[in-house]
Amino acid sequence: MIICPLCDHVQPEGTECDVCGKRFPAAVAETAPIATLPELEVTPHAGGRAPVVAAVLPDLDVTRLRSGPDLPAQVVPDLQLTRARDLGAVPVTPMPELDTGRAPDDGVRTAAPLGAVVCRYCRITQAEGLLCDNCGMRLPRAKPTVAAAPGRPSGDDDGWRSCASCHTRVRPGKACPECGTRAQEEA
């Protein structure tokens, strides 16, 4: 059994935790020393590129088929061509019995989660923060709206700036976590 070092989840197998997604370190297999047996013949292997000396058998007929440009081109009448002939203008009529699989839009939208939210991995209810205090995964919270212009300090001016590319909040001089663009240093 594998126990996750981050969230203590127990699972029988896998390379990452089923709950929090932490990757487990790969097990290092120690190679045992290999001893050659003295009674075995050592056969060198050149990776399949060693020349092989083989004598031609005199009573064997050479029946190699001709290939390449010396064969005449032949037309295959049963071969289906990939092009269809021009059919001209084909009338297109709508099919009223066809179900498109989409319901008509009623205009109701799902509200962004406010207040306490439940972590989808460890099911702990948490009132504040973007990361779960138990497992460290991102909580399903709405991102704060960015009212500042790109590259300018955000509204609360806590040292964060908005990314010039995607308007995500980022520290000056650091790479944006969403798009990777480096934010400008403070002047």
pLDDT above 90 covers what percent of the chain?
3
127 and 159 fall within a common domain: no
In a domain, 90, yes or no: no
User: In this predicted model, what pLDDT tens digit does every residue of 99-141 receive, in sequence order?
Assistant: 878 888 888 888 777 788 888 899 999 888 888 899 988 888 7
Asked whether residue 149 falls in the same domain as residue 185, the answer is yes
Q: How far is CA 107 from the centre of its chain?
A: 34
The answer to whether residue 89 is domain-embedded is no
Is 124 a domain residue?
Answer: yes
Check pLDDT > 80 for residue 72: no
Which domain covers residue 126, as residue numbers?
A: 1-24+113-142
**Does residue 147 lie within any of the structural domains?**
yes
Q: Is residue 55 part of a domain?
A: no
**What is the number of domains present in the chain?**
2
Is residue 38 assigned to a domain? no
HSE of 65 in the Cβ direction (CA atoms, 13 Å)? 3
Residue 175 β-bridge partners:
182
Residue-wise pLDDT for 148-187, tens only, equals 455 454 445 567 788 887 778 888 878 887 777 877 776 5
Decide if 121 contacts 132 (C-beta within 8 A): yes
Burial of 150 (0-12, 13-18, 19+ CB in 10 A): middle
Q: Per the domain annotation, does 121 fall within a domain?
A: yes
Which DSSP state fits 182?
Answer: B
